[in-house]
């Protein structure tokens, strides 16, 4: 499997507006619920926030690749956001 087969291009957002990291993660999980990728927001949002406590998923220049392990989904779901 190639990386392009894993990436959901409809989940990559440019010009993403957020006031801080928590706002960005909230909006990210809202989008996943809206697209019916996850059923509810809370478990995944908490997993993202816990993951961020370990080390940031920001890679610089306003780009982040938030990720976490959570039981609310069973597939790898790469996403990328640029603020």
Tens of pLDDT along 38-80? 888 998 899 999 999 999 888 888 788 888 877 766 555 555 5
Q: How much helix, strand and coil, in percent to the nearest 5, is found in the chain?
A: 40, 10, 50
Residue 64 host element (H or E)? strand 63-64
Among residues 73, 70, 3, the alpha carbon closest in space to that of 36 is found at 73
Residue spans of the domains in the chain: they are 15-82
Residue 72: what pLDDT?
63
Residue 54: what pLDDT?
92
Residue 62 CA to residue 82 CA, distance in Å, equals 5
Q: How confident is the model at residue 81 (pLDDT cuts 50, 70, 90)?
A: low
Among residues 20, 23, 66, the alpha carbon closest in space to that of 44 is found at 66
């Amino acid at each position: 499997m190639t990386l392009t087969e894993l990436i959901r291009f409809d989940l990559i957002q440019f010009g993403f507006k957020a006031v801080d990291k928590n706002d960005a993660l909230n909006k990210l999980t809202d989008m996943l619920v809206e697209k019916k990728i996850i059923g509810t927001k809370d478990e995944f949002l908490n997993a993202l926030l816990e993951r961020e406590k370990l080390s940031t998923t920001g890679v610089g220049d306003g780009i982040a690749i938030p990720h976490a392990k959570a039981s609310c989904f069973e597939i790898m779901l790469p996403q990328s956001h640029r603020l």
